A and B are shown apart, each in its own frame.
Chain A
Amino acid sequence: MLETVFNRLFLVTFLASTIRMATPILLAALGEIYTEKSGVLNISLEAQMLTAALAGFIGAYYTQNNWLGLLLGMLAGILISLLFALLTVSLRADQIVVGITLNLFALGLTTFIYRVLFGVAVIPPHVEPMVEVHIPVLSDLPVIGPVLFQQKAVVYLTFLLVPIAHWFLFRTTIGLKIRSVGEYPLAAETVGINVTRTRYLCILLSGLGTGLGGAFLSVGQLARFTDNMTAGRGFIALAIVIFGQWKPYRAALAALIFAAADALQLSLQAVGVQIPSQFLLMLPYGVTVLAMIFVARRATAPAALAQPYVKEG
């Protein structure tokens, strides 16, 4: 009897946290799909997320309003991505180098600002946790209810964004423009598409999504900020874009797989399985490496990915 209850509880917790943990990565990945479809490889997702996590926490902490916190997080994401766009699109610096630099910069910057503002406390400061929104009727269903319909608002929003992102990219004129810029910018330019503006748009859009993801990590999930709390999630999002072959639905699936690995290791740790925790912590990253080995070869990236566009004449 006890055994079955434990198992069911374990399953529900595991699935619910899978979906919750997939959210920030998926937000970042959706943004990155747009950026990469426009021909820009923005590996500074980690920087955007981490900065947004801190900005979101600061916002929520001082205003006592989690929503304002998320808003500030998005703003921070946009700021970092604006910096990235400025350096890579306008000044045509190498996208990889700029990305790495921003990641290192953000790691130092966030740690520094956090220390300056909050010092080193025994009990770290925290904000009011975000509440789950129970969807009427549906949330009462067994298993499915608590897994799918007792989540935080941002989670619902994120998964609603998946079909929207798909529709926009593949069914609208702007989506077509974005894709053309990532494939053959010169051809796009000759039919009157502004390559620079399109790329800026995508990068900033990505900053918005990634910023929300980062802020959700601190404000929505942990209710506090810790040094380097993104722990490579920005990079996982990059892998997910490739794993998802630059398609929103597939990326959502990929994000869920990664999050499942992450949730599993947490659940296993909580249950007290006799495996060293360091080993369990590796699980999601190991899954990512494995996934890349099998999928990366088949994936075809946008033809002009990571190539700066130089206008002629």
Chain B
Amino acid sequence: MAPILCMRGITKHFPGVLANDRIDLEVEEGEIHALLGENGAGKTTLMNILYGLYEPQEGEIVFQGRPIKVSSPHQAIGLGIGMVHQHFMLIPVFTVAENIILGLRSSRGLVLDMEQVQRRILDLSERYGLGIDPNAYIWQLPVGLQQRVEIIKALYRGAKLLILDEPTAVLTPQETRELFHILRSLAQQGTSIIFISHKLNEVMAISDRVTVLRDGRVVNTVLTRETSQTELACMMVGREVVLRIERPPPAPGEPVLEVNDLHALNDKGLPALEGVSLRVHRGEILGLAGVDGNGQIELAESLVGLRRPTGGKILVKGRDVTGSLPSTLIRMGVACIPQDRKAIGSIGEFSLAENVILGSHDQPPFARHGLLNRQAIRRYCQHLISEFDVRTPGVDLQARALSGGNLQKLILAREVSRPHDILIAVQPTRGLDVGATEFVYRRLLEERQNGKAILLISTELDEVLCLSDRIAVIYEGRIVGEMRAEEAVAEEIGLLIAGSRREIGIGRRDESRSTADRKNSFAKETRERV
């Protein structure tokens, strides 16, 4: 079969970086082709070139047998190349249909022809099993469905080649499985798919072939059925990697953080937490699993004093700190790695030195009588930078100039280097590559060894499973399950995350009985419901 896409010798320099170095990529018709690589390996750059967002300095692109030059996404779409970005290009206040026809001609000239559009969307939706209602507003849809709207948007415009940029990053395991099903059905009906990812298991599960990128170069292109996760990991990182982190047995001490029946509202004034109770002990990592938007952010904000709970209690080392100011909580020994390192975790315009003292900026030795001691601050920053391996030319660099991984290391350094008893880590590895992720994991486990209590809030199930001693699942502002890590089954948690505890109870009755015997609260819940 003739390839639908041939990229040959693609080279792209950015100031100081060679992002793509003579890259060759071939995609067959109806093939699911995975593009695997760490962050910064050049995957997204390559796809942005194909999609017309960047212009390559060298190389040629042949699409459907014809050499093409793409200078804008609009042009790419016209040629039959569609892309589903990590951040959806959808307008929340528009309906599905409005989003899909945006920028297209209408059969009725100036006037929108919504009925005809809706029919076509329903046709496409049915053909590929997408289950999309053209009249729904985007903001009403869960992330998984929004992603399908993006897919329909591309298909509606006649996409023959679909690029998916880390599509599973925002999905639950169930949604991921559904997405894979859709992708297979698309491929069977002739659509070619480029699947960008750094997750090995997914690449193994969905792709026909894999092209591995490292440092802007193609390492190899292999048939998926002829390779293995270990081999791919080795190609991707360039060395042997330990996929499982070694975890010494837990030795939990007394509870440091206790949350009792906590209630809080979200920014829209709607209930976000509806009676959350948790307990985190010294020397233990409690992993809180759940899909984005189920109250995790509100919980974290309540715990660090950024959100006033409407009910319930928060105790730190036995003292009631409900509704305390962040400064009080910091002094009480609460440290936090927030979910968004750029928006909340750091001040982009401040230097690294200024950033590492945030929170202790009014404490000696950094400040005396309201005056900053710049020398002490710089020395301290220097010390953290070397201890936490932050790659930077110096302490005076603006924080926003750091890469994601390095900025995260800096924030981690700031938080754990200040006296603290509990660390709340929200999405600590979001967007980090394997190397940086490994670093963060090691540090979190070190914290645990040092007798700190750690609350790990993450939407990455693998992360929760790999680090936690106990796992709690949050769904719609409630803890819907809690279990010891060694009892945890990924599948079960996956269902809990999606809010279907009833099904588990029915489908795995025996198992939930046995867990009930161990006085597991999750099982009690299920049993009550069955």
Q: Which of B54, B101, B102 contacts A188 (CB 8 A)?
A: B102
Residues of B within 8 A of A32 (CB): none
A180 near B91 with CB under 8 A, answer yes
B73 near A187 with CB under 8 A, answer no
Q: Which of B53, B73, B74, B102 contacts A177 (CB 8 A)?
A: B102
- How far is B103's CA from A171's CA once the two chains are assembled, in angstroms? 14
B90 near A187 with CB under 8 A, answer yes
Task: Given the known inter-chain contacts A173-B106, A180-B102, please indicate yes or no for A192 contacting B94, CB distance below 8 A.
Answer: no
By beta carbon, the residue of chain A nearest B114 is A171
A190 near B112 with CB under 8 A, answer no
Residues of B within 8 A of A187 (CB): 89-91, 102
By beta carbon, the residue of chain A nearest B153 is A191
- How far is B103's CA from A179's CA once the two chains are assembled, in angstroms? 11
A190 near B74 with CB under 8 A, answer yes
Tell me whether chain A's interface is mostly helix, strand or loop, or mixed: helix
B112 near A192 with CB under 8 A, answer no
CB within 8 Å of B: which A169-186 residues:
171-174, 176-177, 179-180, 183-184, 186
> Is residue B93 within 8 Å, beta carbon to beta carbon, of the partner chain?
yes
CB within 8 Å of A: which B141-196 residues:
none
> Is residue B111 within 8 Å, beta carbon to beta carbon, of the partner chain?
yes
By beta carbon, the residue of chain B nearest A184 is B91
Task: Given the known inter-chain contacts A177-B102, A190-B73, please indicate yes or no for A184 contacting B110, CB distance below 8 A.
Answer: no
CB within 8 Å of A: which B102-133 residues:
102-106, 110-112
* Interface bracket on B: 20 to 34
> Is residue B77 within 8 Å, beta carbon to beta carbon, of the partner chain?
yes
A176 near B53 with CB under 8 A, answer no
> Is residue A272 within 8 Å, beta carbon to beta carbon, of the partner chain?
no
> Is residue A193 within 8 Å, beta carbon to beta carbon, of the partner chain?
yes
CB distance from B56 to the nearest CB of A (A): 12
Contact with B along A29-40 (1 / 0, CB 8 A): 000000000000
> Is residue B351 within 8 Å, beta carbon to beta carbon, of the partner chain?
no
> Is residue B98 within 8 Å, beta carbon to beta carbon, of the partner chain?
yes
- How far is B112's CA from A174's CA once the two chains are assembled, in angstroms? 9
Task: Given the known inter-chain contacts A172-B111, A179-B94, A180-B94, please indicate yes or no for A193 contacting B53, CB distance below 8 A.
Answer: no
By beta carbon, the residue of chain A nearest B113 is A173
Task: Given the known inter-chain contacts A173-B106, A180-B102, A312-B53, please indicate yes or no for A190 contacting B89, CB distance below 8 A.
Answer: yes
Contact with B along A57-72 (1 / 0, CB 8 A): 0000000000000000
Residues of A within 8 A of B365 (CB): none
> Is residue B72 within 8 Å, beta carbon to beta carbon, of the partner chain?
yes
B92 near A303 with CB under 8 A, answer yes
Q: Which of B72, B77, B89, B102 contacts A176 (CB 8 A)?
A: B102
5 contacts between A and B (CB under 8 A): A176-B102, A183-B92, A188-B103, A191-B73, A303-B93
Binding site for B on A (CB under 8 A): 171-174, 176-177, 179-180, 183-184, 186-193, 300, 303, 312-313
Identify the 3 closest CB pairs spanning chains A and B, nearest first: A192-B74, A191-B103, A187-B89
